[in-house]
Amino acid sequence: MDVTEKVLEVMRAEGQPLNAGKIAELGGLERKAVDKAMTQLKKEEKIVSPKRCYWTPA
């Protein structure tokens, strides 16, 4: 499982908007890797932001 899949899995499991720091903490991932994965997910429109700095699956 790559980092982008892990980020989406953590977001779906939590069921509420999360910021990158919380995703890294819950998923046991490095913050830098989460930021990179989230950038890719934003470009692919797989995540959306309901409020500033918090993200949820699209």
Domains of the chain plus CATH, in order, are 3-57 (1.10.10.10)
Q: Could you please report the per-residue DSSP string of 26-44? A: HHT--HHHHHHHHHHHHHT
Cα separation of 14 and 31, whole Å? 18
**CA gap 55, 18 in Å, rounded:** 5
Q: For the segment 31-48, what is each residue's pLDDT rounded down to a tens digit?
A: 999 999 999 999 999 999
Cα–Cα distance, 4 to 53 (Å, whole number): 17
- List, for residues 19-29, the tens digit of each pLDDT value: 999 999 999 99
pTM for the complete prediction?
0.89
pLDDT for res 1: 75
